Chains A and B, each alone.
Chain A
Amino acid sequence: MSEAMDASPVGSEMANGSSDQLQLVTFGVGDEEFAVDILAVQEINRMMPLTRVPQSPPEVEGVINLRGRILPVINLRRRFGLEDGERTSASRIIVVDVHNQTLGFIVDRVHEVLRIDSGIVDPPPDMVCCVRLDCIAGVGKLDDRLLILLDLERLFAPADVSGYANMNCAA
């Protein structure tokens, strides 16, 4: 089921990144393109059966069985306050380690593993689309598109990890 980094066009050359280079996993939620540091990402999986958890916070989609471990899965669309989208064959669950808790989040599609120069990343503007400032680590300007770098630590802040009720990140 796991197809770790299958979208990577960069391949093996990305093994040694210098400090000026950022290695990012980019993915789409809604119309926007987001990116997270590759080091935070454990693996990327195709959608798998989810078990709904009664009375859990709304953005918790459910739990999955990842090789015997039970992990919570967050619906990033709901986290960002977007309408629930259609699950397609492109939907993925990105598994990350945040605050010593392994969790997964659902994205609409995973694009690629990208190596960019940290110079092209600007500090976040006041407001980008629907996601509030404090969850954004920066904005990367590529030739024809804009990449929103997410700060996972803040996106899934400890207050959230132990209770998503406090949604300071969502619009």
Chain B
Amino acid sequence: MTAHTIDREQAWEDSTSIGHPLVQGEVDLSHNVILYLDNVTVSFDGFRALNALSLNIDAGELRCIIGPNGAGKTTMMDVITGKTRADRGKLFFGQTIDLRRMTEAEIAHAGIGRKFQKPTVFENLSVFENLELSMKMDKRARVSLFAWLDDDARDKVADTLRLIRLDGEAGRPAGLLSHGQKQWLEIGMLLMQDPKLLLLDEPVAGMTDDETARTGELFKSLAGKHSLVVVEHDMAFIEQLGGVVTVLHEGSVLAEGDLATVQNDQRVIEVYLGR
């Protein structure tokens, strides 16, 4: 059986027969790795946006990804979330979930949430409604037709509103928020989905220093319970986050380690300063 044609039922049988626990519908974190990318290649008209990229993210980890423009950071997120298909390579969420075989919505349901580079919120809906729609629940059309917002759900939205400091803005159309507030709202929308893995593309772009610092605090408090992958250019922010830093260059990993190590790596300096 190859990894490409993994049979879920079979995998279930195999895994239970050797005795490690696996709950159907749950991400299998038995090896403490939440995301595997192995030899992933994506080409656009001959240009290799990702070139045999291999990367593992541990469960509960807070990982920062940096790299010059065109290094493949956004393409990597596109591949993980199903927006772009990988030409080659393996892509697993936990031990058992093959992301290459799933649609965007299925991947989101499996527990991967994504924040885009440009904050995209539903401008004509209120802040409350933005969070309500993002909440983890049955999202099929026929269920939504008869859905009813109960008190538990309201409380959950209210909790998130406080966390992202928008509790005073619940009724405002999201389109009227400031740029930084939109970023926070989008992070809140991610949290409402209760994802196991959060992919955050330039989450502090356009925020004030104060907002950036608060975002950093929030992310650090989320790590452990969730796994986070943060793509950023803001080095001060990355320093605040702590965690392992991965440097991407021309679609593959150039260096990995803590920020100080990476910053002193000769190849990284070359890539950033040019030859």
* Bind each other: no
